[in-house]
Structure 1
Amino acid sequence: MQNRELVIIGGGPAGLSAAVEARRLGIKDVLVIDRESEPGGILKQCIHTGFGLHVFKEELTGPEYAERFIEQAENLGVEIMLNTMVIELTADRRIVAVNSREGLIEIQAKAVILAMGCRERTRGAINIPGFRPAGIFTAGTAQRFVNIEGYMPGREIVILGSGDIGLIMARRLTLEGAKVRCVVEIMPYSNGLTRNIVQCLEDYGIPLLLKHTVVNIHGRKRVEGVTIAEVDDDMKPIMETAKFVPCDTLLLSVGLIPENELSRLADIEIDEVTGGPVVNQRMETSVPGIFACGNVLHVHDLVDYVTQEAVSAARGAASYLADGGKKYKHIPVSPGNGLRYVLPQRINVDAMPEERQNFFMRSVRPMAKARLFVESERGVIKSSVLRYVKPSEMISIQLDRDEMRGIKMLNFSLREEGDSVERGE
Structure 2
Amino acid sequence: MIKYDIVIIGGGPAGLAAAIEAKNNGTDKVLIIERDRELGGILNQCIHNGFGLHEFNEELTGPEYAQKFINKVKELNIDYKLDTMVLDISKDKTVKAINKDEGFMVIKSEAVVLAMGCRERTRGAIRIPGTRPSGIFTAGTAQRFMNMEGYMVGKKVFILGSGDIGLIMARRLTLEGAEVIGVADIMPYPGGLTRNIVQCLDDFNIPLLLSHTVTDIKGKDRVSSITVARVDEKRMPIRGTEKIYDCDTLLLSVGLIPENELSESIDIKMNDITGGPIVNESMETNIDGIFACGNVLHVHDLVDYVTEESRRAGANASRYIKNRIKDNSDIIKTLAGKGIRYIIPNDIRPLNLNDNLNLFMRVDNIYEDVKLVVKYGKERLKEINKKYLTPGEMERIKIDTNKLDFSNINNITVEIEKRGE
TM-score w.r.t. the length of structure 2 is 0.98
Kept in 2, the 8 Å contact 1:349–1:405? The answer is: no
2:397 alignment counterpart:
397
Contact 1:373 1:383 in 2 (8 A): yes
Q: CA deviation at 1:326?
A: 4.5
Give the number of aligned pairs: 418
**2-structure distance, mates of 1:197, 1:189:** 11
Whether 1:345 and 2:322 are equivalent positions in the alignment is: no
1:12–1:392 Cα change, 3 Å = same
Quote the Cα distance in structure 2 between the aligned partners of 1:45 and 1:351.
37
For residues 107-126 of structure 1, what are the structure 2 equivalents within 5 Å? Answer: 107-126=107-126
Question: Which one of 409, 412, 420 corresponds to residue 410 of structure 1?
Answer: 412
Contact 1:21 1:315 in 2 (8 A): yes
Partner of 1:336: 337
TM alignment of 1:171-250, pairs within 5 A:
171-250=171-250
CA distance in 2, matches of 1:269, 1:370: 33
Distance in 2 (alpha carbons) for counterparts of 1:195 and 1:324:
42
What CA distance in whole angstroms lies between the structure 2 residues aligned with 1:289 and 1:159? Answer: 42
Contact in 2 for aligned 1:349/1:404 (Cα 8 Å): no
Deviation string 1:191-249 (CA, Å, 9 cap, x unpaired) is 11000000000100101011111000001211001000111111111120101100000
The unaligned stretches of length 5 or more in structure 2 are none
Rounded to whole Å, the distance in 1 between the matches of 2:265 and 2:167 is: 35
Superposed CA RMSD: 1.0
Structure 1 residue 320 displacement after superposition: 1.1
Q: Distance in 2 between matches of 1:157 and 1:415?
A: 41
SS at match of 1:44: helix
Instruction: State the Cα deviation string for residues 57-93 of structure 1 (Å, max 9, x = none).
Output: 0000000000000001100111111110001011111
1:3-402 mapped onto 2 (5 Å cutoff)? 3-323=3-323, 326-329=326-329, 330-352=331-353, 354-402=354-402
Q: Which runs of 5+ in 1 are unaligned?
A: 421-425
1:387 positional shift: 2.0
Cα deviation, 1:351-406, whole Å, max 9, x if unaligned, reads 12x32111000000011122111112241111111221100100001112222332
CA distance in 1, matches of 2:93, 2:33: 14
Query: What CA distance in whole angstroms lies between the structure 1 residues aligned with 2:142 and 2:358?
Result: 34
Deviations 1:270-319 (A, max 9, x none): 00000000000010001010000000000000000000000110121122
Paired amino acid for 2:335: S
CA contact (8 A) 1:257 1:275 kept: yes
In the alignment, what sits opposite 1:423? none
Partner Cα separation in structure 1 for residue 215 and residue 167 of structure 2: 21
Measured after TM superposition, the shift of residue 415 of structure 1 is: 2.1
Please state whether the residue corresponding to 2:223 is helix, strand or coil.
coil
Question: How far did 1:331 drift?
Answer: 1.4
In structure 2, distance between residues paired with 1:52 and 1:316? 24
Displacement, 1:324?
6.2
Q: Secondary structure at the match of 1:300?
A: coil
Quote the Cα distance in structure 2 between the aligned partners of 1:113 and 1:328: 22
CA distance in 2, matches of 1:403, 1:3: 42
Query: Could you tell me how far 1:322 is from its partner in structure 2?
Result: 1.9
* TM-score, length of structure 1 as denominator length: 0.97
Rounded to whole Å, the distance in 1 between the matches of 2:394 and 2:202 is 23
Structure 1 residues 119-163: Cα deviation after superposition (integer angstroms, max 9, x where no partner): 000000100000110000000000001101110111000000000
